[in-house]
Structures are given as structure tokens and as C-alpha cells.
Amino acid sequence: MNWKFINLATIVAVGVCSCGSNKTSSKMEITKEPFGTYDGQQVDLYTLANGQGVTLKVATYGGAITELWTPDREGVAGNITLGFPSLDGYRSEAFLKSGPYFGALIGRYGNRIGNAKFTLDGVEYTLAANNGANHLHGGIKGFDKVVWSAEELREKDAVGLKLTYRSADGEEGYPGNLDVEVTYRLTKDSELKISYKATTDKLTHCNLTNHAYFNLSAGKSPDVLGHELAILADKYTAVDAGLIPVGPEDVAETPFDFRTPHAIGERIGNDSEQLKNGGGYDHNFVLNSGGGKLSLAATVYEPLSGRTLEVYTTEPGVQFYSGNFLDGSLVGVGDVPYTKRYGFCLETQHFPDTPNQAAFPSTALKPGETYASETIYKFSTK
């Protein structure tokens, strides 16, 4: 199999959590409850508990992670991701207008495609221009805005949820029927695994990811500027004013040098055209691993809570986004207002605008091939 299509799942290893108390159950469980109705379809919310105190909530609308509870250094549980307690939040006018994609599955193509078009086998395909002149995160109705079919999984060492969706030929302008399978697994060893697979009946492009936002302080801090971030990347893809890559550049002697840990807010106000273009960090980092094998990509430490996040991936890039466009208009789980830079994203991926940039690792998927992807988000405390 071509390494381009190997992006292992997303695994999150965490410690004890009880979503508001310090009591835990030794039983691994998965439960379902109604979450709302969309487009004539029932939307469900699944709660996965691993018996070790870690709890994850996933909605079938967009496959969105709505809550993830993990402990701080004192063992006190807190919700470390951004989301809403009901479907109404994800369908509100304010959310749809601002488009933060909280916790959602992103496809067919994560990130931007320049001028909302690409050419395959001599045929030009026009996509929805939903981000200025560009195409972003699959279009107007990407995978984040569809209802996925769900199947509960109960395994020896994990509980899980397998989500499936068929993206029809021509949907949002993409060629080919794309059959997608995403599986969340919460293991007894406190790992959350998100596995991606896809097949097509026509040459197309595929670049799947999850758009989870994290605030490892779980509300102790009003923003993520104090989180200490390291990214194993000597280069990043510099962008133009529309955030389309103009080519890899060295991170050395720039605000993008996270090869050693720096607070997210340490250089975010630097007078840099690159930072101005994104209103802060919203850039793809070219991982030193090159992709194709599971490797450490980034680490994050939050001093107030002691929570630590390690990100491993087989993907060649990771998009670091510092929540620049959050503005307090959205109020999430626990009545928390999501103000500017309240959360950050580390979206493992192939590079933005790859369909139009031959020098980047390809995202083309052919009939007979299987796209597969795995990333690990591992949590601990210190």
C-alpha cells in the first residue's frame, strides 16, 4: 500500500477522569442517547467510558467529539475539548457563520484548496468557494455537517464506535463515490483511537482529519497562550494572504520555531506578515518524520493543570491553529464562552492545497487503493 494513504487513527491516552467527581467505575461502557434531529434524521450521542475514569462523548452529527474528560495533576476531572451539550449549538446561526468545526470529522479534504479547484487526469473540478476564493474543509456541507451511521463496538480491551458515510460522486464538486469509515476506540489503557479508512470508484483527492480543539487547563485559564508547545518540524508551509501555501520555509529564527518548547503566546504578537495573515498561528508544519510511520509530531504542556499532550502521527504535516477567530459569541459545555484563543488545534494531515502543488506528498486516491490514517493524542500529567 502506498504510504500516502496510511494515517493510523487518533489515540488519546489519558489518566483518571470521572467528569466532575473523583469516583470511577471499573466497567468499560458505551451508552447512547438522543442528541437532536437534523434533516429528518435522528442524531445520537454516544458516551464511551473505559473503566479507568476516562470519558468521551461523540455525536453522529459530523462525528463530532463533544466532550473529553481527563484528570489534572490532582486527579480532578475536567473537560479539555470544545463542544456543545446539544445539537442546537452545532446548528446555530452563530456557529454556522463562524465555522469553527468543533471536534468534527473533516473531509473530503482537510484544510484549504486554492481557488476552489483542481485538475485530475486533465479534467478540472470546481469546488465550493467557502473561504474567500478558496475551498475549506470539504465545502459548504462537508463531513462535519452530515449524519453518520453508527455501530457500537465492544472488544476485549476497548469500547468503540464505528461511523460510516458514503460521499456521492459530485458531492461538493469531488469526483467518485467515496466510502468512508471512521472508528473511535477508547481502550482500557486509556487511549482514544480514531481510525480513518476510505475507498473510491474514481480517481479523487482525500485528506481526512479531526478538528478537535483543546484547552488543557479545562477552564482554569481563559486562553491557551500559556500552553507550552513543541513541534518536531524544521520547516513550515509559508502562506499568502488567503492562507494558501507558497512553499516550505525554515522555521529557524522565526516565530514558527517550536523545535524546543515555547509558550503559544510568547511570540504570537510578533510583527510577522505570516502571523498577520492568519491572525496568529494557522499554519501547516512539515514534520521531520516525513510521514509514513508513526512518529512523535508535537508535545504540549499546560502548567496550571499539569496536563501534557503528546501527538504522534503517520501524516507528513500538522496544522497548528491557535483559535484566532473565536470571539466569545459561542457558549459551550458548562456555559463556557469560547473567547479568542480559548482552544488550540493540532490537525494531522497532508499539506494544504496539495491537489494544486505537485511538490507536496500526493493526496490522490485511486480505485483499488485504501486510504488509511492513524494519529495518537496521548495525555498524561506532571
Report the SS3 class of residue 139. coil
How much is the pLDDT for 16?
A: 37
As a whole number of angstroms, the distance between CA 139 and CA 113 comes to 10
Q: Is the pLDDT of residue 110 over 50?
A: yes
Contacts of residue 40, Cβ cutoff 8 Å, sequence gap at least 6: none
Half-sphere exposure of 268 (CA within 13 A, CB side): 25
CB 313 within 8 A of CB 226: no
- Out of 135, 137, 205, 211, pick the active-site residue: 211
Q: Among 1-10, 67-76, 343-352, whose mean pLDDT is lowest?
A: 1-10
CB 199 within 8 A of CB 178: yes
Pick from 80, 100, 79: which is nearest to 89 by CA? 100
- Out of 67, 191, 302, 347, pick the active-site residue: 347
Q: Is the pLDDT of residue 376 over 90?
A: no
Contacts of residue 85, Cβ cutoff 8 Å, sequence gap at least 6: 66, 332, 333
Write down the residue that cell numbers 485504501 correspond to: 370
CA torsion angle 252 272 228 112 (round to 10): -90
As a whole number of angstroms, the distance between CA 305 and CA 76 comes to 9
- pLDDT class of 25 with cuts at 50, 70, 90: low
Q: Is the pLDDT of residue 4 over 70?
A: no
Known catalytic residue: 347?
yes
Q: Give one DSSP letter per residue of 336-367, joined into a string.
A: EE--TTS-BEEEEESPTTGGG-TTSPP-EE-T
Q: Is the pLDDT of residue 8 over 70?
A: no
In this structure, which amino acid lies at residue 345? C
Cis before 108 (ω within 30):
yes
CB 3 within 8 A of CB 291: yes
The model's pLDDT over 156-171, given as tens digits with 9 standing for 90+, comes to 999 999 999 999 999 9
How much is the pLDDT for 193?
A: 86
As a whole number of angstroms, the distance between CA 111 and CA 90 comes to 20
Q: What is the mean pLDDT of the chain?
A: 92
In CATH terms, 3-381 corresponds, of 2.70.98.10, 3.30.300.30, 1.10.287.70, 2.60.40.10, to 2.70.98.10
The predicted model gives 272-286 an average pLDDT of 92
Long-range contacts of the stretch 123-132 (C-beta < 8 A, 24+): 123/175, 125/173, 125/174, 125/175, 126/173, 127/172, 127/173, 127/174, 128/172, 128/173, 131/242, 131/243, 132/242
Q: Is the pLDDT of residue 211 over 80?
A: yes
The predicted model gives 354-366 an average pLDDT of 97
Known catalytic residue: 211?
yes
Residue 41 or residue 377, greater confidence = 41
Write down the residue that cell numbers 508547545 correspond to: 229
Q: Which three cell numbers stand for residue 167?
A: 460521499
Listed by start position, the domains of the chain span: 3-381
Residues in a beta bridge with 48 = 30, 56
How much is the pLDDT for 257?
A: 98
As a whole number of angstroms, the distance between CA 283 and CA 278 comes to 8
Helix (H) or strand (E) holding 155: strand 149-155
Q: Is the pLDDT of residue 176 over 90?
A: yes
